């Protein structure tokens, strides 16, 4: 029974760290990364469609993203969607594909990105602590229902705290790696 609580808790904490990784990939650092375009929705064929479903996205070099739509008729729609996005990139349409040049960020922009990274890391830490809180409540309920003893509850909470600390450390390491990547550009 206690193992189930730990298993669910660990799974949720792991998913929080994975979500942080995906989230931080969308932050523009000056290097071309196809994940930058993950959140872009394109109005094509009368509906809003994710860009990744309309085109292949590649990185021919470290500073360029190449978007090659499967249907050339969507080029204009893709270009408009990128211009409307908050990426601050100017798409170059050559009639076959779209090129995005990723400029070096200014010092001010780097500081803004680092603040954004820190905020997102802190949000994930809060989410991890909320998962721990839910698990502690479940353990207390189990003790109250006489499913586990008081000693087992205390041991489990100590183990849960160590698990929480390890995932918070992982989130911090992910954030520090992203900050370092931003500042090295």
CATH classification of the domain holding 126: 1.10.132.20
Percent of the chain residues past pLDDT 90, beyond the cut: 43
| Residue 10 domain boundaries | 2-25+106-184
Give Rg (Cα) of the chain.
Answer: 22
User: Each residue of 99-128: pLDDT tens digit?
Assistant: 988 887 788 878 888 898 999 999 999 999
Task: Output the 3-class SS for 100-168.
Answer: EECCCCCHHHHHHHHHHHHHHHHHHHHHHHHHHHHHHHHHHHHHHCCCCCHHHHHHHHHHHHHHHHHHH
User: How many domains does the chain divide into?
Assistant: 2
Give the residue from 101, 121, 138 where a domain finishes: 101
- pLDDT grade, residue 72 (50/70/90)? confident
Measured CA to CA, the distance from residue 110 to residue 113 in angstroms comes to 5
What pLDDT, on the 0 to 100 scale, is given for residue 185? 64
**Same domain, yes or no, for 141 and 94?**
no
What pLDDT, on the 0 to 100 scale, is given for residue 132? 95
What pLDDT, on the 0 to 100 scale, is given for residue 130? 96
Name residue, tokens 């204009």. 76
User: Each residue of 24-66: pLDDT tens digit?
Assistant: 887 766 677 888 888 889 998 888 989 888 999 998 888 889 9
């Amino acid at each position: 029974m206690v193992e189930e609580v730990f298993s669910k808790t660990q799974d949720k904490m792991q998913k929080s760290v994975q979500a942080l990784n995906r989230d931080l990939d969308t932050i523009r650092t000056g290097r071309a990364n196809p994940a930058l375009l993950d959140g872009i929705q394109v109005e094509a064929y009368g509906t809003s469609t994710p860009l990744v479903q309309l085109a292949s996205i590649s990185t021919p070099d470290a500073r360029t993203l190449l978007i090659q739509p499967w249907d050339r008729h969507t080029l204009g729609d893709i270009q408009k969607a990128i211009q409307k996005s908050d990426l601050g990139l100017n798409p170059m349409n050559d009639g076959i594909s779209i090129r995005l040049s990723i400029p070096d960020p200014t010092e001010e922009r780097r500081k803004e990105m680092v603040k954004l990274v820190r905020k997102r890391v802190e949000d994930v830490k809060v989410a991890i602590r909320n998962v721990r809180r839910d698990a502690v409540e479940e353990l207390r309920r189990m003790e109250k229902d006489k499913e586990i003893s008081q000693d087992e509850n205390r041991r489990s909470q100590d183990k849960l705290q160590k698990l929480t600390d390890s995932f918070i450390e992982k989130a911090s390491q992910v954030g520090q790696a992203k900050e370092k990547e931003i500042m090295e550009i």
